[in-house]
A and B are shown apart, each in its own frame.
Chain A
Amino acid sequence: MSGAESRAEVAKLARLLGVEGERLAYLEGLAPGELRRYRESVADRMFEGDAALLARAAGAARLLPARTAASLAQSALGPLVCARLTGLLDPGHAAEISEHLPTDFVALLAAELDPRRAVAVVTAMESGRVVEVAGAMAANGEYVAMGRFVNFLDDATLAGCCARLDDEEVLRIAFVSEGKGRLARLADLMGLARVRRMVRNATAMGLDDEARDLWERLSPPTRRRVARPEP
Protein backbone atom coordinates (compact mmCIF):
# COMPACT_ATOMS: atom_id res chain seq x y z
CA MET A 1 0.00 0.00 0.00
CA SER A 2 2.96 2.35 0.28
CA GLY A 3 2.44 3.74 -3.28
CA ALA A 4 -1.17 4.49 -2.45
CA GLU A 5 -0.18 5.93 0.93
CA SER A 6 2.32 8.22 -0.76
CA ARG A 7 -0.37 9.30 -3.20
CA ALA A 8 -2.65 10.12 -0.25
CA GLU A 9 0.17 12.07 1.42
CA VAL A 10 0.85 14.07 -1.74
CA ALA A 11 -2.87 14.91 -1.95
CA LYS A 12 -2.77 16.16 1.66
CA LEU A 13 0.33 18.28 1.05
CA ALA A 14 -1.19 19.72 -2.13
CA ARG A 15 -4.32 20.69 -0.21
CA LEU A 16 -2.27 22.30 2.51
CA LEU A 17 -0.31 24.33 -0.02
CA GLY A 18 -3.42 25.07 -2.05
CA VAL A 19 -1.98 23.68 -5.29
CA GLU A 20 -3.20 21.01 -7.71
CA GLY A 21 -2.07 17.48 -6.80
CA GLU A 22 -0.55 16.95 -10.27
CA ARG A 23 1.89 19.77 -9.60
CA LEU A 24 3.44 17.70 -6.80
CA ALA A 25 3.24 14.36 -8.60
CA TYR A 26 7.07 14.16 -8.52
CA LEU A 27 6.79 13.49 -4.77
CA GLU A 28 4.80 10.26 -5.16
CA GLY A 29 7.97 8.17 -5.26
CA LEU A 30 8.92 9.25 -1.74
CA ALA A 31 8.12 7.25 1.39
CA PRO A 32 4.82 8.22 3.03
CA GLY A 33 6.52 8.86 6.38
CA GLU A 34 8.92 11.33 4.82
CA LEU A 35 6.07 13.18 3.11
CA ARG A 36 4.02 13.23 6.31
CA ARG A 37 6.90 14.74 8.28
CA TYR A 38 7.34 17.46 5.67
CA ARG A 39 3.60 18.23 5.61
CA GLU A 40 3.47 18.44 9.39
CA SER A 41 6.43 20.82 9.41
CA VAL A 42 4.70 23.04 6.86
CA ALA A 43 1.49 23.01 8.92
CA ASP A 44 3.48 23.94 12.04
CA ARG A 45 5.06 26.88 10.21
CA MET A 46 1.66 28.02 8.98
CA PHE A 47 0.09 27.96 12.40
CA GLU A 48 3.07 29.01 14.49
CA GLY A 49 4.93 31.39 12.18
CA ASP A 50 2.61 34.26 13.02
CA ALA A 51 1.75 33.08 16.51
CA ALA A 52 2.35 36.41 18.23
CA LEU A 53 0.12 38.43 15.93
CA LEU A 54 -2.54 35.70 15.91
CA ALA A 55 -2.53 35.49 19.70
CA ARG A 56 -3.05 39.26 19.93
CA ALA A 57 -5.83 39.10 17.33
CA ALA A 58 -7.49 36.29 19.31
CA GLY A 59 -7.19 38.42 22.44
CA ALA A 60 -8.89 41.27 20.61
CA ALA A 61 -11.67 38.96 19.38
CA ARG A 62 -12.51 38.20 23.01
CA LEU A 63 -13.49 41.83 23.42
CA LEU A 64 -16.09 41.67 20.67
CA PRO A 65 -19.65 40.39 20.94
CA ALA A 66 -20.11 37.11 19.03
CA ARG A 67 -22.36 38.70 16.40
CA THR A 68 -19.83 41.50 15.68
CA ALA A 69 -16.96 39.00 15.56
CA ALA A 70 -18.94 36.83 13.11
CA SER A 71 -19.64 39.82 10.91
CA LEU A 72 -15.96 40.81 10.86
CA ALA A 73 -14.96 37.21 10.24
CA GLN A 74 -16.87 37.23 6.99
CA SER A 75 -16.31 40.76 5.79
CA ALA A 76 -12.71 41.38 6.88
CA LEU A 77 -10.85 38.27 8.02
CA GLY A 78 -11.93 35.55 5.60
CA PRO A 79 -11.89 31.78 6.16
CA LEU A 80 -8.11 31.25 6.16
CA VAL A 81 -7.34 33.78 8.89
CA CYS A 82 -10.39 32.65 10.88
CA ALA A 83 -9.09 29.09 10.75
CA ARG A 84 -5.73 30.22 12.13
CA LEU A 85 -7.52 32.10 14.91
CA THR A 86 -10.05 29.42 15.85
CA GLY A 87 -7.75 27.31 17.97
CA LEU A 88 -6.66 30.38 19.93
CA LEU A 89 -10.15 31.44 20.94
CA ASP A 90 -12.05 30.30 23.98
CA PRO A 91 -13.97 27.22 22.63
CA GLY A 92 -17.30 28.45 23.96
CA HIS A 93 -16.83 31.89 22.35
CA ALA A 94 -15.69 30.31 19.08
CA ALA A 95 -18.73 28.01 19.01
CA GLU A 96 -20.97 31.01 19.77
CA ILE A 97 -19.41 33.00 16.92
CA SER A 98 -19.90 30.05 14.56
CA GLU A 99 -23.63 30.09 15.31
CA HIS A 100 -23.79 33.51 13.67
CA LEU A 101 -21.93 32.35 10.55
CA PRO A 102 -23.57 30.81 7.49
CA THR A 103 -22.83 27.12 6.90
CA ASP A 104 -21.01 27.83 3.64
CA PHE A 105 -18.56 30.13 5.41
CA VAL A 106 -17.99 27.64 8.25
CA ALA A 107 -17.32 24.99 5.57
CA LEU A 108 -14.64 27.20 3.98
CA LEU A 109 -13.15 27.92 7.42
CA ALA A 110 -13.17 24.24 8.41
CA ALA A 111 -11.35 23.38 5.19
CA GLU A 112 -8.42 25.50 6.40
CA LEU A 113 -8.59 24.36 10.01
CA ASP A 114 -6.13 22.05 11.72
CA PRO A 115 -8.49 20.17 14.06
CA ARG A 116 -5.56 19.15 16.30
CA ARG A 117 -5.26 22.80 17.26
CA ALA A 118 -8.98 23.33 17.72
CA VAL A 119 -10.28 20.06 19.19
CA ALA A 120 -12.25 21.83 21.90
CA VAL A 121 -13.97 24.08 19.34
CA VAL A 122 -14.85 21.17 17.04
CA THR A 123 -16.30 19.15 19.92
CA ALA A 124 -18.17 22.20 21.27
CA MET A 125 -20.16 22.48 18.02
CA GLU A 126 -23.58 20.92 17.92
CA SER A 127 -23.62 17.57 16.08
CA GLY A 128 -26.31 18.58 13.58
CA ARG A 129 -24.30 21.66 12.60
CA VAL A 130 -21.18 19.57 12.05
CA VAL A 131 -23.15 17.27 9.74
CA GLU A 132 -24.47 20.30 7.83
CA VAL A 133 -20.93 21.65 7.48
CA ALA A 134 -19.70 18.22 6.33
CA GLY A 135 -22.32 18.26 3.57
CA ALA A 136 -21.14 21.69 2.42
CA MET A 137 -17.48 20.65 2.54
CA ALA A 138 -18.19 17.54 0.47
CA ALA A 139 -20.01 19.67 -2.08
CA ASN A 140 -16.79 21.69 -2.35
CA GLY A 141 -14.77 18.49 -2.85
CA GLU A 142 -12.85 19.08 0.39
CA TYR A 143 -12.14 15.38 1.06
CA VAL A 144 -8.59 15.92 2.33
CA ALA A 145 -9.71 18.59 4.79
CA MET A 146 -12.60 16.39 5.95
CA GLY A 147 -10.20 13.53 6.54
CA ARG A 148 -8.49 15.60 9.23
CA PHE A 149 -11.65 15.57 11.34
CA VAL A 150 -12.34 11.82 11.43
CA ASN A 151 -10.28 11.33 14.57
CA PHE A 152 -12.03 14.09 16.47
CA LEU A 153 -15.70 13.40 15.91
CA ASP A 154 -17.74 11.29 18.31
CA ASP A 155 -19.65 8.24 17.07
CA ALA A 156 -23.01 9.98 16.72
CA THR A 157 -21.56 12.85 14.68
CA LEU A 158 -19.45 10.53 12.54
CA ALA A 159 -22.50 8.35 11.84
CA GLY A 160 -24.51 11.47 10.96
CA CYS A 161 -21.79 12.61 8.53
CA CYS A 162 -21.63 9.16 6.88
CA ALA A 163 -25.40 9.16 6.45
CA ARG A 164 -25.18 12.58 4.80
CA LEU A 165 -22.37 11.59 2.40
CA ASP A 166 -22.49 9.18 -0.52
CA ASP A 167 -20.28 6.08 -0.90
CA GLU A 168 -17.75 7.75 -3.16
CA GLU A 169 -17.32 10.68 -0.78
CA VAL A 170 -16.85 8.41 2.24
CA LEU A 171 -14.25 6.30 0.42
CA ARG A 172 -12.32 9.38 -0.71
CA ILE A 173 -12.34 10.86 2.80
CA ALA A 174 -11.37 7.59 4.49
CA PHE A 175 -8.39 7.23 2.13
CA VAL A 176 -6.84 10.54 3.17
CA SER A 177 -8.06 10.37 6.75
CA GLU A 178 -5.71 11.26 9.58
CA GLY A 179 -7.66 8.87 11.79
CA LYS A 180 -6.92 5.51 10.19
CA GLY A 181 -7.40 3.86 13.56
CA ARG A 182 -10.98 5.12 13.50
CA LEU A 183 -11.89 3.55 10.15
CA ALA A 184 -12.87 0.19 11.62
CA ARG A 185 -15.33 2.05 13.83
CA LEU A 186 -16.49 4.10 10.85
CA ALA A 187 -17.28 0.85 9.02
CA ASP A 188 -19.23 -0.42 12.04
CA LEU A 189 -21.23 2.79 12.11
CA MET A 190 -22.07 2.51 8.39
CA GLY A 191 -23.13 -1.12 8.67
CA LEU A 192 -22.10 -4.23 6.76
CA ALA A 193 -24.44 -3.72 3.81
CA ARG A 194 -23.03 -0.31 2.98
CA VAL A 195 -19.40 -1.35 3.41
CA ARG A 196 -20.04 -4.39 1.19
CA ARG A 197 -21.59 -2.16 -1.47
CA MET A 198 -18.69 0.29 -1.30
CA VAL A 199 -16.08 -2.43 -1.68
CA ARG A 200 -17.95 -4.11 -4.53
CA ASN A 201 -18.57 -0.90 -6.45
CA ALA A 202 -15.09 0.53 -5.93
CA THR A 203 -13.77 -0.44 -9.37
CA ALA A 204 -16.75 1.12 -11.09
CA MET A 205 -16.09 4.32 -9.13
CA GLY A 206 -12.36 4.22 -9.98
CA LEU A 207 -11.55 3.95 -6.28
CA ASP A 208 -9.75 0.62 -5.96
CA ASP A 209 -6.87 2.00 -3.86
CA GLU A 210 -9.35 3.76 -1.59
CA ALA A 211 -11.46 0.61 -1.10
CA ARG A 212 -8.36 -1.56 -0.51
CA ASP A 213 -7.15 0.89 2.11
CA LEU A 214 -10.50 0.76 3.91
CA TRP A 215 -10.54 -3.04 3.66
CA GLU A 216 -7.13 -3.27 5.30
CA ARG A 217 -8.38 -1.24 8.28
CA LEU A 218 -11.28 -3.59 8.97
CA SER A 219 -10.99 -6.20 11.69
CA PRO A 220 -10.65 -9.82 10.43
CA PRO A 221 -14.17 -10.77 11.63
CA THR A 222 -15.67 -7.72 9.85
CA ARG A 223 -13.77 -8.60 6.67
CA ARG A 224 -15.18 -12.14 6.79
CA ARG A 225 -18.70 -10.79 7.24
CA VAL A 226 -18.30 -8.28 4.41
CA ALA A 227 -16.91 -10.99 2.10
CA ARG A 228 -19.87 -13.29 2.73
CA PRO A 229 -22.61 -13.29 0.07
CA GLU A 230 -25.50 -11.02 0.93
CA PRO A 231 -28.26 -12.81 2.82
Chain B
Amino acid sequence: MVSSPLMDAQTLRSTGAPAPEPPPSLERRRAAELTAETAAVLAAQRAELELAVERCLAQLPFPMRVVVRRALAL
Protein backbone atom coordinates (compact mmCIF):
# COMPACT_ATOMS: atom_id res chain seq x y z
CA MET B 1 0.00 0.00 0.00
CA VAL B 2 1.37 3.42 -0.98
CA SER B 3 1.29 5.98 1.78
CA SER B 4 0.57 9.69 1.35
CA PRO B 5 0.48 12.55 3.84
CA LEU B 6 -3.28 12.85 3.29
CA MET B 7 -3.87 9.19 4.03
CA ASP B 8 -1.64 9.41 7.10
CA ALA B 9 -3.62 12.33 8.44
CA GLN B 10 -6.88 10.43 7.97
CA THR B 11 -5.53 7.20 9.42
CA LEU B 12 -4.09 8.97 12.42
CA ARG B 13 -7.28 10.87 13.21
CA SER B 14 -8.11 9.79 16.75
CA THR B 15 -11.49 9.87 18.35
CA GLY B 16 -10.31 11.99 21.28
CA ALA B 17 -12.57 12.82 24.17
CA PRO B 18 -15.22 15.50 24.72
CA ALA B 19 -14.90 18.11 27.48
CA PRO B 20 -16.06 16.86 30.88
CA GLU B 21 -19.21 18.09 32.59
CA PRO B 22 -18.60 21.58 34.04
CA PRO B 23 -18.77 22.15 37.82
CA PRO B 24 -22.46 21.81 38.76
CA SER B 25 -22.68 25.06 40.72
CA LEU B 26 -21.46 27.14 37.77
CA GLU B 27 -24.17 29.25 36.17
CA ARG B 28 -25.27 28.14 32.71
CA ARG B 29 -23.60 30.84 30.59
CA ARG B 30 -20.26 30.40 32.35
CA ALA B 31 -20.57 26.61 32.19
CA ALA B 32 -21.01 26.79 28.42
CA GLU B 33 -18.03 29.15 28.19
CA LEU B 34 -15.81 26.81 30.22
CA THR B 35 -16.92 23.74 28.25
CA ALA B 36 -16.19 25.49 24.95
CA GLU B 37 -12.76 26.60 26.18
CA THR B 38 -11.89 23.10 27.39
CA ALA B 39 -13.17 21.44 24.21
CA ALA B 40 -11.04 23.79 22.10
CA VAL B 41 -7.93 22.94 24.11
CA LEU B 42 -8.59 19.19 23.90
CA ALA B 43 -9.12 19.43 20.14
CA ALA B 44 -5.95 21.48 19.67
CA GLN B 45 -3.90 18.99 21.65
CA ARG B 46 -5.35 16.10 19.66
CA ALA B 47 -4.44 17.85 16.41
CA GLU B 48 -0.94 18.53 17.72
CA LEU B 49 -0.48 14.85 18.54
CA GLU B 50 -1.58 13.79 15.07
CA LEU B 51 0.71 16.29 13.37
CA ALA B 52 3.62 15.36 15.63
CA VAL B 53 3.37 11.69 14.69
CA GLU B 54 3.29 12.64 11.00
CA ARG B 55 6.33 14.91 11.40
CA CYS B 56 8.10 12.14 13.27
CA LEU B 57 7.48 9.59 10.52
CA ALA B 58 8.63 12.02 7.85
CA GLN B 59 11.97 12.49 9.61
CA LEU B 60 12.82 8.83 10.07
CA PRO B 61 15.18 7.22 7.57
CA PHE B 62 13.39 4.84 5.21
CA PRO B 63 14.05 1.40 6.76
CA MET B 64 13.21 2.63 10.25
CA ARG B 65 10.11 4.43 8.99
CA VAL B 66 8.72 1.13 7.73
CA VAL B 67 9.30 -0.55 11.09
CA VAL B 68 7.77 2.35 13.05
CA ARG B 69 4.82 2.64 10.67
CA ARG B 70 4.13 -1.04 11.26
CA ALA B 71 4.36 -0.52 15.05
CA LEU B 72 1.90 2.36 14.75
CA ALA B 73 -0.43 0.11 12.76
CA LEU B 74 -0.54 2.58 9.87
Residue ranges of A at the interface with B (Cβ–Cβ < 8 Å): 17-19, 23-24, 26-27, 30-31, 34-35, 37-38, 41-42, 44-46, 48-50, 52-54, 56-57, 59-60, 63-64, 68, 72, 75-78, 80-81, 84
Residue ranges of B at the interface with A (Cβ–Cβ < 8 Å): 12, 14-26, 30, 34, 37-38, 41-42, 45-46, 48-50, 52-53, 55-56, 58-60, 64, 67-68, 71-73
Instruction: Assess the B72–A57 pair: CB atoms within 8 A.
Output: yes
B residues within 8 A CB of A80? 45, 48
The tally of CB-CB contacts under 8 A between chains A and B is: 99
How far does the alpha carbon of A63 sit from the alpha carbon of B61 in the complex, in Å? 13
Q: CB within 8 A of B71: which of A27, A46, A59? A: A59
Closest B residue to A41 by beta carbon equals B20
A74 to chain B, nearest CB (A): 11
Instruction: Assess the A42–B56 pair: CB atoms within 8 A.
Output: no
Instruction: Assess the B49–A50 pair: CB atoms within 8 A.
Output: yes
How far does the alpha carbon of A41 sit from the alpha carbon of B22 in the complex, in Å? 10
Main SS class of interface, B? helix
A157 to chain B, nearest CB (A): 29
- In order of increasing CB-CB distance, the 7 nearest A-B pairs are A49-B17, A41-B20, A76-B55, A60-B71, A76-B56, A45-B17, A81-B52
